[in-house]
Structure 1
Amino acid sequence: MAGATSVGGCSSVYLPSFQGLRPSSSTVKVSSSVSFRMTLNHRPGLVVKAATTVAPKYTTLKPLGDRVLVKLNAAEEKSAGGILLPTTAQSKPQGGEVVAVGEGRTVGLKQVEVDVKTGTPVVYSKYAGTEVEFNGAKHLLLKEDDIVGILETDDVKDLKPLNDRVLIKVTEAEQTTAGGLLLTQSSKEKPSTGTVIAVGPGPLDEEGNRKELTVSPGNTVLYSKYAGNDFKGSDGTEYIALRATDVMAVLP
């Protein structure tokens, strides 16, 4: 049961321990003075990852298995209107150039090589892989499956999806309600329908052969909300790249 004492004008409260909050002793002492201290057993919490810095003596890095090393594109320092962006407002780059690839992986009895080659410009899933800094540049070491597609131009509409990825042109959100009232940007429902622009070659089956996807370019589809990676084309058109398994239905 909780209790209280007063020492030298400073009151203290003793709280019982709770499941999931385990102090080093059976109670936690909380003082009413300005500062207080809790001693808790170590518990896992939020982990902030920083780029791994490779010693200068190492000038190359060889990925293993189906991993790929990508040299990251620099983050934008200015907005489209030419305004200088602070570091915190700069978008994390999601693209780069492949500089090294692993030997591939074994699927069934077949050795499957990595599809992308060195020098290929690629787009990868947000938050994928491990950042590595060496030779004065930032790189990303990631699985081949984390690469969304190949992008050889500056416009995402030209993205060539890999594996089981699908590129969809998003249907524009309604600008007005059924009664004709103009909707604000914050109240517009995020659309979850769109037109398939391009599809990947399909995933590998247990024997290492490609399985053709069930959707094709030109299909109008319904997909899972909040799935995949959102992109904006050079003309402002919105696109999304997601796995074929996130496509729920084809609309006639």
Structure 2
Amino acid sequence: MATSQITASLRNLPAFERLQPSTLRFPAAGRVRIGTLTPNSFPSLVVKAATVVAPKHTTVRPLGDRVLVKIKDAEDTTEGGILLPLTAQSKPQGGEVVAVGEGKSVGKNKVNINVKTGAQVVYSKYAGTEVDFNGSKHLILKDDDIIGILETDEVKDLKPLSDRVLIKVADAEEKTAGGLFLTEATKEKPSIGTVIAVGPGPLDEEGNRKPLSIISGNTVLYSKYAGTDFKGKDKSNYIVLRASEVIAILS
């Protein structure tokens, strides 16, 4: 708790110059005489007011299997240069890892965090807790909420983590069986795609990685509303989902 001082000088206040000696009577104390008040009698008046100082934290250390990520700034313009209002700016889903926890224990084994400090990562859209730190927005989230590592601007270069797979979505049908062309709003969301990359696999009960049965190049059918969608620079649609959300391998 800090204090601030407010000093008010009474030397030039006319009201005190006109005060004259007087005698007051108090039943218990008899006569009490108040001496002459002069401008020098009150050289100054100090008033102390408490002021709350917000604590300044210099470090944030995530615990367990949590990770601290510095959030990338949201895009404020479209590719065509049109300025976006705040309500239209998409929430960032990527950032840089600035600190990691010590990991967690699974069975008898200690499992380290999947990512290292400095890695550029993509995470689940509504994961984690936002904090302001060192003048920037950060996110504290669990290691498992990180979808993958993305060191470039190309979604197809994403390296999925854990039991996740990266799929390039098949193009939606542009016309019905009867030959009618469909608008974007009426095109059915595809649930078929080609696997581009796979993660190292989930952990078993002893903390060991179990490889996925899905491999790059597989054509798969997946749950219709699963995963996290991305748009590539090539205008193609991509989706990252867990292997358990893949229904079947097509051939």
TM-score band w.r.t. shorter chain: 0.7 to 0.9
Correspondence 1:62-141 to 2 at 5 A: 62-141=61-140
Q: Deviations over 1:105-138 (max 9, x none)?
A: 0000001110200000000001000001111000
The letter of the residue matching 2:84 is L
Unmatched segments (≥5 aa) in structure 1? 1-54
Question: 1:84 aligns to what SS in structure 2?
Answer: coil
- How far did 1:56 drift? 5.5
**Cα distance in 1 for residues equivalent to 2:114 and 2:169:** 27
**Cα distance in 1 for residues equivalent to 2:100 and 2:147:** 16
The answer for the alignment partner of 2:222 in structure 1 is 223
Superposition RMSD in Å: 0.7
Q: Is the 8 A contact 1:56 1:135 kept in 2?
A: no
The letter of the residue matching 2:215 is S
Q: Is the 8 A contact 1:196 1:220 kept in 2?
A: yes
**Cα distance in 1 for residues equivalent to 2:130 and 2:164:** 23
**Cα distance in 2 for residues equivalent to 1:56 and 1:211:** 45
Q: Is the 8 A contact 1:66 1:144 kept in 2?
A: yes
Q: Is the 8 A contact 1:56 1:134 kept in 2?
A: no
- How far did 1:180 drift? 1.1
The answer for the alignment partner of 1:42 in structure 2 is none
Q: Is the 8 A contact 1:69 1:101 kept in 2?
A: yes
Q: Deviations over 1:231-252 (max 9, x none)?
A: 0100100000000000000011
Q: TM-score, normalised by structure 2?
A: 0.78
**Cα distance in 1 for residues equivalent to 2:177 and 2:224:** 22
- How far did 1:142 drift? 0.2
Q: Deviations over 1:3-46 (max 9, x none)?
A: xxxxxxxxxxxxxxxxxxxxxxxxxxxxxxxxxxxxxxxxxxxx
Q: Deviations over 1:76-107 (max 9, x none)?
A: 00011101100010000000000000000000
**Cα distance in 2 for residues equivalent to 1:96 and 1:67:** 15
**Cα distance in 2 for residues equivalent to 1:218 and 1:56:** 53
Identity %: 73
Question: 1:181 aligns to what SS in structure 2?
Answer: coil
Question: 1:133 aligns to what SS in structure 2?
Answer: strand
Give aligned pairs, total.
Answer: 198
The answer for the alignment partner of 1:188 in structure 2 is 187
The letter of the residue matching 1:220 is T
- How far did 1:217 drift? 0.3
Q: Deviations over 1:160-195 (max 9, x none)?
A: 000001000000000111111111111100000000
The letter of the residue matching 1:225 is K
**Cα distance in 1 for residues equivalent to 2:86 and 2:137:** 16
The answer for the alignment partner of 1:198 in structure 2 is 197
The letter of the residue matching 1:117 is K
The answer for the alignment partner of 1:167 in structure 2 is 166
The answer for the alignment partner of 1:151 in structure 2 is 150
Q: Deviations over 1:30-80 (max 9, x none)?
A: xxxxxxxxxxxxxxxxxxxxxxxxx55202100000000000000000011
**Cα distance in 2 for residues equivalent to 1:56 and 1:240:** 42
**Cα distance in 1 for residues equivalent to 2:194 and 2:103:** 33
